[in-house]
Amino acid sequence: MAAATLVGCGSGGAERIVLSFYTSPDGVEQYQASAAECTRASGGRYTIEQRTLSSHSTDDQRLYLARRLAAHDTGLDIMGLDDIRTAEFAQAGWIVPYPPEVARQVEQGTLRVPLETGTYQSRLYAAPLTTTTQLLWYRTDLVSHPPKTWDEMIRMAESLAVRGLPHYIEVQGARYEGLTVWFNTLLASAGGAIVSENGEVHVARGDAARQALSVMARVANSRAADPSLSVSAEDDARLAMEAGKAAFEVNYPFVYTSMHKNGGGTFIDALGRPTSQDTGRRVGDVFGWAPYPSVVAGQPARVTIGGLNLGVSASSRHPAEAFEAVLCLRNRDNQLLQAVGVERPPTLAALYDDPAFQKQYPAWREIRDSLDHGSVRPRTPAYANISIVISELLNPPAKINPNTVVDQLADQIARAVTSQGLVP
């Protein structure tokens, strides 16, 4: 592992500071360009070296970083962290809080909800770089208007099924993080929460959990359910829509680009059904978007956001320079580079008015509105365990009994919170 500091380079034998910047394999070119630009901006005071984590899996990335941080490895300075890692890494003492003046600079112009993902116990530990949220994607040729609620969407889908038309509602129902996100979004939209920031379990309080679980059970047991719902993830939902099987899907903005990169998906006949013949019209020609459906009529959904944040290692030999570098790595130009280059929406509010961003994201208004009303996953060090508990209990969604599973969730989430689940 390379040391963070090299001595004897530069004029007069002065110390040359090298800051290691660890990122995921996705978007390496953009990270490298940002690192080079911010190195130039430092005026020779430090060099930022982008280093790529070997695995695309966020769990593998977490384990790699956790082991090095727990060993007080000085070869780590700046790290790109999945937004669910903030509380765990902060509680473990692996990342350090941003100094108040730097935190104020990060907060200036940053969208409120993404900023929450980098905050733990009222202190900023990770600066939001990118974010994302789910929208409703639907077939404009099959329905005259997008549904505003889950109840309305289920009714529309079942009506299409009766007429023999594509009708599936594509959701993330497999036993993984996506299922937890679906539940958290529905729960927050109904006015509930899984846990508070101090770890208190809220999921069993009130009717919000039952409302959320009822929606999941109704979708899974309706004619709107894809037979593969219980093993479906984001890519499965995307492919079902591109193949012309679905009328609706809830998914991230990458599906729009994918639809058109893949030629607009399958050909469809005059009734909107998939066909092997070249009819001159594809699914992409009738692929529309709308806000995520509400649980409570008249109230916007509170969609669970995702994203990538930048944390500074507690074992870094140069934390002051690392914090300065972060401000550059997440500035307007570098966030736009990420947004346009690798389909990662920015966390700076001003960029949503940028023509280059709007061209890349035709659904930019809906994305911005969804982020403004969004929710975050529980900010607790035990989140990984909580997510496993939820995805285990709620899969398959067709077996959910809202009247009995709430108490099970509350009990098992309480156990997960107590265990903490940190990697030593």
| Residue range of the domain that includes 112 | 5-132+306-369
- 196, 160: one domain: yes
**Which residues, listed in sequence order, are joined to residue 18 by a DSSP beta bridge?**
47
- 148, 270: one domain: yes
Query: Would residue 399 count as lying in a domain?
Result: no
Last-in-domain residue among 369, 384, 418: 369
Last-in-domain residue among 341, 369, 397: 369
CATH number at residue 177: 3.40.190.10
Q: What is the per-residue pLDDT for 7? A: 37
- 148, 246: one domain: yes
Residue ranges, the chain, pLDDT below 70: 1-14, 197-206, 420-424
Describe the crossing of helices 319-329 and 100-107 by its angle, rounded to 10 degrees. Answer: 10
- 160, 267: one domain: yes
- 93, 182: one domain: no
Q: What is the per-residue pLDDT for 338? A: 93
- 286, 313: one domain: no
Q: What is the per-residue pLDDT for 204? A: 53
Last-in-domain residue among 239, 258, 290: 290
- 3-state secondary structure at position 218: helix
- 284, 213: one domain: yes
- 147, 285: one domain: yes
Residues shown for the chain: 424
Query: Would residue 180 count as lying in a domain?
Result: yes
Query: Would residue 403 count as lying in a domain?
Result: no
- 121, 140: one domain: no
User: Is 375 exposed, middle or buried (CB count within 10 Å of its CB: 0-12, 13-18, 19+)?
Assistant: buried
Query: Would residue 390 count as lying in a domain?
Result: no
Query: Would residue 232 count as lying in a domain?
Result: yes
Q: Which residues contact 12 (CB under 8 A, 6 or more apart)?
A: none
- 60, 174: one domain: no
Give me the number of domains the chain comprises: 2
Query: Would residue 408 count as lying in a domain?
Result: no
- 156, 91: one domain: no
